[in-house]
Structures are given as C-alpha cells and as structure tokens.
Structure 1
Amino acid sequence: MGDIHRRGAVTLGITALVAPLTLALGAAPAHAASCTATTGTHQKQVEKFLGRPVDGKQSTADCKAVKAFQTKHGITPNAGYAGPVTWGVMNLMNKQKAVGKNPNKAGKCPVNKGRIACVDLTLQLSWIQDGKKLVYGPVPVRTGRDGYETRTGLKKIYWRNIAHHSTIYDVPMPYSQFFDGGQAFHSANVSMWNPPGSRGCVNMTKTDAKKYWSLLKNGDDVYVYGRKPGT
C-alpha cells in the first residue's frame, strides 16, 4: 500500500502540470447574445444540418436554431451566426456518424495486440477492440487543442484513479486512466464538441468514461493517431 501511495504521489506531480487543466479550460460559458441578422459564411450547410429550409439567407428561425446549437456545445459567441467554427463542429459530427460501427476500416489502429483503446484524433473518436472484435464504441472524444495536442503513438495505461482531482487547479477528473505523462482518458462535464479542446487529455462523457474504466486495466495498450482539426 505504501508503494502505491508513493507511486501515486510521483504520478500526481507529473500530471498536475497538464492533466488537471484538460477538463474544462477552454470551455468558456456561452456569452449571452441576441440573434444576429447577418447571413453566415456557411449558411446553407448549417441550414441543411439543422433541417432548416436551405435558402442561404438568415431568418429569425434560422438564427434561433443556430444559437441553440451553439449554446448546447459551448460555441462562442452564440449569436446564431453560421460561421466556420459552427460548421466545423457540424461537419465533424457528420463524419463521425458516417463511420458507423467500423471505426478501424482503414486499419490504422494496430489490433493484433489483444485489448487496445484506439484514439482517432482526426475524427475525434475512440473505441476499444479485442483483435478484430469491436468491444465498445466508437464514441466522440475531446482531445488536445492547438499547442496542447494529445501525443500520438503506441502507449500503455500505467495509472488509474477513479476520483482523480487536481489540488493545484481544483479540477475534478473522474475515471482517470493515464497513458502518457499527464495525458489520460477521463470524464468531462462539457460537450465533446466544445472548441477548442482539452489541454492534452482525452475527454469523454461520464457514461463512456465509466465504461472505459470497466473495460481497461493497467498495462492495456492505447494507440493515438491522426491530427485534430485546427491543430
């Protein structure tokens, strides 16, 4: 038990610099704003995504629908303007949906190593496989923003803490499973599509983080590849 505590203390010292910041920084609350009458740069694409009449012209109803989407996912300012950030989130959602239940179709994640957690930075998706068998997912994740990218490559889970909490930043990180320095899978109480992203960790919903906790253990492989949009 003493060894576990010492090991945990060392790891906490390493992770405090990066991991505790990954939960909510950058997830600024949506600013209160009235609807804009300005037609957005991606008006038609956004209208189509939201099931609105596709005419490329901003209407009051269009603005309210866009504003609601922006507010839900922490996109600021949430004034209903159909700009590149809003469309970027929607476009990513479309690409994620198109993956279906075959996330490793291109064979980029090595699945000949037993149980492995794969993280596709390009599509912001993660899943768990046993060989060719898809065990769980794919699920949307929120990875490192520009300058704090989630590091790519083959790694292993080396430390788990179900109730990890940073005493420096006072940030909870439930269901933390660390796999690379201060970078870990953990639950985050923000939208998985909230820009610009984490400070390096792989954020997940509470449901998905709990499932990963139950399916993974120390020593299991993690493979991170691709490049997050905007980094």
Structure 2
Amino acid sequence: MGDVRRRGAVALGITGLVAPLALVLGTAPAQAASCTTQTGPYQKKVEKFLGRPVDGVQSSGDCKAVRAFQNKHGITPNVGYAGPVTWGVMDLMLKQRAVGNKPNKAGKCPVNKGRIACVNLTLQLSWIQDGSRLVYGPVPVRTGRDGYETRTGLKKIYWRNIDHVSSIYDVPMPYSQFFDGGQAFHSAGVSMWNPPGSRGCVNMTKATAKKYWSLLKKGDDVFVYGRKPGT
C-alpha cells in the first residue's frame, strides 16, 4: 500500500485516546473532589449491580463503591453519583454477560464467509467465527462515539501494522488491522467501558488485540452492525 493510502487511513480512523469529556449527570454536584451524599435516579439498580445493600438511599459506602467503579472506567464526574451514565455502563455489562457463548444467536453476522470478525455495535461486543463455529470471543470492545461512528456493513482487512502510531495525535495504536477507510481493530489503554467511545476504530484490550492479530490476516472479512448506545 502506498504512503498516500496509509496517511488517509490514519486521518480517518484515529481513536479517542484522550481524557473523556465531562458529563453532566442530572443534579450531581460539579466538584469531583468530594463524594456526593445525593441519591441518584438509578440508586437501587446501581446498588444491586455492586452488591451493596439495596435500599435506594445513598450512603457513604455506596458512594465509595460507585466512585471506585467510575474511576476504573473513566466515568466523569467521578463523585459516586448513581446517574444515567454510570447505570448505562453497568446495564451494558449485564447485557454483554447475558450473551454468553452465543453472540450470533440472532444470525446477524454472516455464516457463509468462512472466517470473519463480527462487531455488534449495540452490545459493544466482537468475536471471530468460522461459518457458524465460534473461534474466539465474544469480547467487549469500544467503538466510535457520537459523530465518529464506526461504519456498518461488510468489509475486509486491507492493511495491518503491529506498531502503528497515529501521525495526527501521536498516540500508539498497537496491533492495528484496518478494515474501512482508516477504521481499525487495535489495542487501547483505556477501559472498554470508558465513555463516550473512540473516534471510529474498534478499541480492544491488549490481550484481545494480540489474539485478533494472530487469528486474522489481510483479506479477511469484517462485519459491523447495530448502533452504539448514545450515537
């Protein structure tokens, strides 16, 4: 591939490895320095998810547990408030767990292409299958945020670069496998549940990106479908 095509790929598919934008969560306090005493609209659901006593009333222990979850996944403000963004991440996790080892149960990803990498934007999951046989996954991924959506449809891996670095933002994109106008699978050093998402690429943990690198090759099919929550 020529340099022009490579530069074009980089320009179109850089992921958002930057600090997440501040999200205003209802009536949560603006300061991130202290733990809030306010009860959030999703208090009971968040308490249940975290294994806390489910009484629907914010406590010091609740706040610390929620805040630890927010810090782990880059959710801001990280004040321990059980708001819609925090619950949205937890709800997505629950839906991902419910899939189990049958990510293509609905038959949305083609089974007549041989080996193919599938990306379900709605559930933020990806896996590799060969026909109807599951080869690897499903694993959580982080796809394009609002305005930078990962494009849907049937594609092919057209360029791979194990040590790729963005020439625009000067950020590493290890194990890059480009499949659509610069959008690629690659490793990212953030939580896969970190809102609001990438700038179009399909982010993966390092372990997942390495596995995809070993299982896929140039010319392999990729199928992206669904719609990421919030886009």
Question: Could you say which TM-score interval applies, normalised by the shorter chain?
Answer: over 0.9
Deviations 1:11-50 (A, max 9, x none): 3211232323x04135369985210000001000000000
CA distance in 2, matches of 1:33, 1:107: 47
Match of 2:210 in 1: 210
Aligned residue for 1:72?
72
Q: Which residue of 1 aligns with 2:165?
A: 165
Structure 1: distance between partners of 2:217 and 2:43: 46
Matched to 1:229, the amino acid is P
Look up the equivalent residue of 2:110 and give its one-letter code.
P
Distance between the aligned counterparts of 2:34 and 2:169, measured in 1? 33
1:123-142 matched pairs, under 5 angstroms: 123-142=123-142
2:37 and 2:2 map into 1 onto residues whose CA distance is 54
Is the counterpart of residue 25 in structure 1 residue 18 in structure 2? yes
Hey, what does 1:109 align to over in structure 2? 109
Q: Which residue of 1 aligns with 2:81?
A: 81
TM-score of the aligned structures, taking structure 1 as reference length: 0.94
Find the residue that maps to 1:169 and give its secondary structure: coil
Once the two structures are superposed, residues 190-226 of structure 1 have per-residue CA deviations (whole angstroms, 9 ceiling, x without a partner) of 0000000000000000000000000000110000000
| Residues 210 and 29 (structure 1), Cα distance of their counterparts in 2 relative to 1, 3 Å cut | farther
SS of the residue corresponding to residue 16 of structure 1 reads helix
2:150 equivalent to 1:150:
yes
Q: Which runs of 5+ in 2 are unaligned?
A: 24-30
Secondary structure of 1:177 counterpart: strand
For 2:162, give the aligned amino acid.
I
SS at match of 2:135: strand
SS of the aligned residue for 1:82 comes to: coil
Runs (4 or more) in structure 1 with deviation over 4 Å come to 28-32
Taking the aligned partners of 1:161 and 1:16, their CA distance within structure 2 comes to 11
Identity in percent: 79
- Cα deviation, residue 132, structure 1: 1.3
Shift of 1:126: 0.1
Q: CA RMSD in A?
A: 1.5
Residue-pair matches, total: 224
The 3-state SS of whatever aligns with 1:87 is: helix
Distance in 2 of aligned mates of 1:44 and 1:29: 24
**Structure 1 gap segments, 5+ residues each:** 1-6
| Separation in 1, partners of 2:209, 2:5 | 20
Which residue identity lines up with residue 14 of structure 1 in the other structure? G
Match of 2:28 in 1: none
User: 1: CA distance between counterparts of 2:6 and 2:19?
Assistant: 22
Q: Measure, in 2, the Cα distance between the counterparts of 1:112 and 1:93.
A: 29
Match of 2:26 in 1: none
1:24 partner letter: L
Matched with 1:3 is: none
Separation in 2, partners of 1:26, 1:133: 38
Paired with 1:145 and 1:37, the residues of 2 have a C-alpha distance of: 31
Aligned partners of 1:26 and 1:197 also within 8 Å: no
2:9 matches 1:15: yes
